[in-house]
Structure 1
Amino acid sequence: MIISKKVLRNVTLTAHPLGCRQYVQNQIDWVREHARKTNDALYRPVTSDALPKRVLILGGSTGYGLSTRIVTAFAGGADTINVSFEREPSETKTATPGWYNTMAFEKKAKEAGLAAESVFGDAFSDETKARTATLIRKTLQKVDLVVYSLASPLRTDPATGVTYRSVLKPIGEAFTALSVDMDSPVVKQATIEAAEGSQAEETVKVMGGEDWALWIEHLLKEDLLAPNAMTVAYSYIGPKVTYPVYREGTIGMAKEHLEKSAKAITKNLEKINGKAFVSVNKALVTRASAVIPVVPLYMALLYQVMKEKGLHEGCTEQIYRLFTDRLYADKRVPTDDEGRIRLDDWEMREDVQAEIDERWTLQHEGEPLQKGDLEGVRQEYDQIHGFGFPSVDYTLDIDPRVI
């Protein structure tokens, strides 16, 4: 079949296997090049013995999780296991981007002599945790690093069987601000209604740190964590303009819970001399962030400003910097006063945010976006679904089951 991009309410419903393969290959190429590069002012080279060798990534098929898998494997020579929830392809339907990314990555990793396996299933369930433990014992014996990079619309609590749903809403009152859609450069007003009833608490149950803690407890109980093992989860704070919908909203409550959980998990890891961290990363295009009102406009301005300053990073660059500059650079991991790793340091630089604030004042409802890179945001969104790569012939009749 000829696979084309299908979009419904700003959400892309299809993925292209050859494009996803290219997306993974581009990241592998960048990591391999920079691991050896000695004359880059922003990124330091790395020797493979500095990085962990056995890595479990919960949510390792897209975004920051996929980049973590690529960096640890192709800069550090790590054997990896991914846990993610995917839809497989059929003769007439494409898979999720994560399924194609995983197939492409695992083929390349195995060609490089690395172990690379996946557990496809509900990462929140006891059954998936048990299957993963069995696979770790069989392929890695123990793990040196556990990365928690899950995002989900719902979670069933394995202890009670109750299903909770996450929402991205402000708390207290509706939030109205300027925004843009991915398919139109015209600035508009967007309103998000406030969370109701138990929506905030449910979002914490889904996107907070409870499941992260359960994973670590399970791995400890099964004796699958190596001495000095670390675990890291990914978070976001962002600028004040997004606070009502993000940091001070339902997702922000969940992220605060995630950050507090790191301290409790670290205490739990004392017996193996391990540690838990939260890494606060920069704003990037994901399948979720692209449809949050206000966020695409902020990202269009952020991308343009950071590109002009030579500071723009995608997932790969961010995670490469996390491993080479933070987690495995020195004996002591640098953190802020709250114990968080701040990979959003370039995004939150005073000069970057001042320039974004200045450009925000140029935006007016009903007028085209001014001094922003909506095209760059749109291209990145297309590419995470396997579209928009010049090297891929999208007129080819291909089997969606083959990558």
Structure 2
Amino acid sequence: MELLNERLKKIEKEVFIMAEKMVKISEKLKGNVARSVNPYGCKQEVLNQIDYVKKQGHYNGAKKALIIGGSSSYGLASRVTQAFGSGADTICVAYERPVKDETMLGTAGWWNNIYFKQEAEKAGLIAKNFNGDAFTKEIKQQVLDYIKDEFGGQIDLLVYSVAAPKRVNPENPDEVWRSQMKPVGKSVTGYNVNLEKNELFEQTVESATKEETDATVHVMGGEDWELWVSMLKEAGVLAEGFKTILYSYIGSPVTYDFYHEGTLGKAKDAAEESSHKIQKNIDDLNGKAWISVSKAVTTKASVVIPIFPVYCIALYKIMQEKGTHETPIMHKDRLFRDMVYGNKPEIDDRGRLRPDAWEQDEDTQKKTVALMKQITPENFNSDLTGYATFRKEFMQLNGFEVDGADNDTVDYDEITKLEP
């Protein structure tokens, strides 16, 4: 009997230890900002994106790609399609927060990088992650050294997909530029959504000052893109036929006041000027510098752009009905497969790639604007709109509501052993 009791105590102790390792996770939102993450859900989302690309088949794209801002959304999608569509080795630079403790399990991008690397290496591909501030000279030098010493010496693609709140002036570390999402020259009032409370509310956004506009251009324009390409060109690590792309957005005229003609729009205009400078710099390589105008998608940035989510929930509904709604992986795989490396380029009179043509379709825009006029606080969360899709896609960015992942606990000891 005594021996049996000892065995029972041992089993209870082992069960207790196992229970201690398992951390309960749940969705936590503060307004439109996620305060929790599901690492296993992030893994499944990466697997789902890889599976989507594989189903589209192989295409002849990049072989050595550098993705600045490649840990989530458009950047991650760009990395996935290069690796699993074209067989490219990839480098990602992103600034993500690692695990702190059982209550702070890091950021989704941290896990995306880890699980992408696992899958890429299983496929025999190089997948290097640099976790740090892409704006700094230190990170740029680390990446350059790695390309020279361990990545074959050259890259043939650089994707610049950065949405950042601030940037330190590289020539004056005491000066910090902070980006703002505001209209210019006017205040704007309209509805916005609160994902935490599932509410529609009226919001007024005041006009940006000149200082705020200028700071946003420094952060979100093309200055840093230019610095990256110039440094790599001078070091001789850009391959013949090198391509580089920065993602931009124009959107619908109904969003112009707070986006295309606002601070973010000014930054995107500056990025176009940067693309021309970069093009001149890489002409001798038969290179190409593109601005690619993306469609509206659910990202961590887009959900906090004032009033923009209301446009999205109307647009998604119309595009779903037409069969043209795309997630980031669908959008970027089409961009690279069909346009950048394919024979179906859509280029406007300013030389920009326009994979946003499905969003800009005249009938789609007409129906979206009409639907926006019908949206009220009482009906926005109904079958009338695409709010359910918008909210689900946002939660998936953080590993929740992911198809194929239904866990509500993670093994803390297991995940903390993983390295990016």
**TM-score normalised over the length of structure 1:** 0.93
| Counterpart among 98, 120, 124 of residue 113 in structure 1 | 124
1 CA distance for matches of 2:370 and 2:113? 41
Report the Cα offset of residue 398 of structure 1: 2.4
Q: Give the alignment of 1:4-403 within 5 angstroms.
A: 4-35=26-57, 46-47=58-59, 50-92=60-102, 93-137=104-148, 138-161=150-173, 162-184=175-197, 186-330=199-343, 334-364=346-376, 368-369=380-381, 371-389=384-402, 391-399=404-412, 400-401=415-416
Report the Cα offset of residue 333 of structure 1: 5.1
1:300–1:374 contact (8 Å) kept in structure 2: yes
2 CA distance for matches of 1:360 and 1:397? 40
CA-atom RMSD, angstroms? 1.6
Offset from partner CA, 1:224-262 (integer Å, 9 cap, x none)? 100110100000000011111100000100011011211
2:181–2:306 contact (8 Å) kept in structure 1: no
Report the Cα offset of residue 15 of structure 1: 1.2
SS for the counterpart of 1:340 is coil
Tell which structure's C-alpha radius of gyration is larger: 2
Q: Which stretch shows the higher mean deviation, 60-69 or 5-14?
A: 5-14
Report the Cα offset of residue 292 of structure 1: 2.0
Offset from partner CA, 1:117-155 (integer Å, 9 cap, x none)? 011111001110000001111223100000000110000
Residue type at the aligned position of 1:110: E
2 CA distance for matches of 1:150 and 1:70? 17
Q: Percent identity?
A: 39
Cα distance change of structure 1 residues 359 and 402 upon mapping to structure 2, 3 Å threshold: farther
2 CA distance for matches of 1:154 and 1:390? 34
**Over 6 Å off, 4+ runs:** none
Report the Cα offset of residue 401 of structure 1: 2.3
Offset from partner CA, 1:75-122 (integer Å, 9 cap, x none)? 100000000101111332211111100000000000000011011111
Residue type at the aligned position of 2:369: D
Residue type at the aligned position of 2:349: D
Report the Cα offset of residue 363 of structure 1: 2.2
Cα distance change of structure 1 residues 307 and 206 upon mapping to structure 2, 3 Å threshold: same
2:69–2:93 contact (8 Å) kept in structure 1: yes
Report the Cα offset of residue 293 of structure 1: 2.4
1:181–1:296 contact (8 Å) kept in structure 2: no
Q: Which stretch shows the higher mean deviation, 137-146 or 216-225?
A: 137-146
2 CA distance for matches of 1:186 and 1:152? 27
2 CA distance for matches of 1:22 and 1:367? 32
2 CA distance for matches of 1:374 and 1:365? 12
Residue type at the aligned position of 1:389: V
Cα distance change of structure 1 residues 186 and 396 upon mapping to structure 2, 3 Å threshold: closer
2:40–2:410 contact (8 Å) kept in structure 1: no
2:216–2:267 contact (8 Å) kept in structure 1: yes
**Greater helix share, structure number:** 2
Report the Cα offset of residue 159 of structure 1: 1.6
1:286–1:384 contact (8 Å) kept in structure 2: yes
2:42–2:112 contact (8 Å) kept in structure 1: yes
Residue equivalent to 1:3: 25
Unaligned runs of 5+ in 2: 1-22
Residue type at the aligned position of 2:364: V
SS for the counterpart of 1:172 is coil
2 CA distance for matches of 1:67 and 1:397? 25
Number of residue pairs matched by the alignment: 390
Report the Cα offset of residue 360 of structure 1: 1.6
2 CA distance for matches of 1:374 and 1:397? 29
SS for the counterpart of 1:238 is coil
Residue equivalent to 1:40: none
2 CA distance for matches of 1:121 and 1:364? 42
2 CA distance for matches of 1:66 and 1:328? 18
Report the Cα offset of residue 335 of structure 1: 1.4
